[in-house]
Structure 1
Amino acid sequence: MARSETRPVVTLRSTAGTGQAYVTRKNRRNDPDRLVLRKYDAVAGRHVTFREER
């Protein structure tokens, strides 16, 4: 079966500049803009914002 195009795989990159990344899926219908989440950056040792990469 083919993967759904409404839930693509996206990469979330840390805005702290450490190179840390998370991989997740998102629903394009509910979130058409770039996804921004506050998650833990292990390199920085604290929670920072992660922005969707394209």
Structure 2
Amino acid sequence: MAATSRDIRPIIKLRSTAGTGVTYVTKKNRRNNTDRMVLRKYDPVIRQHVDFREER
């Protein structure tokens, strides 16, 4: 089954707020999380945990 643009669990990119250009790729449930996702994850460039924000 092919993923459509209105898929319930779309693939999203999380980009580092530290400006290093590091990204994580994950899925989110569009029904439960309608806002942009923000996760605190590890940035290997600066070797710290920083906020990663959803990029559209």
Instruction: Give the TM bin, normalised by the shorter chain.
Output: over 0.9
TM-score, with normalisation over the residues of structure 2? 0.91
- Note the alpha carbon deviations across 1:7-52, whole angstroms, 9 max, x for none: 0000000000000000000000010000000000000100000000
Uncovered stretches (5+) of structure 2, i.e. residues with no partner: none
Structure 1 residue ranges without an equivalent (≥5)? none
* Structure 1 segments of 4+ aligned residues over 6 angstroms from their partners: none
Q: TM-score, normalised by structure 1?
A: 0.94
Measured on the aligned residues, the alpha-carbon RMSD in Å equals 1.0
Report the number of matched residues.
54
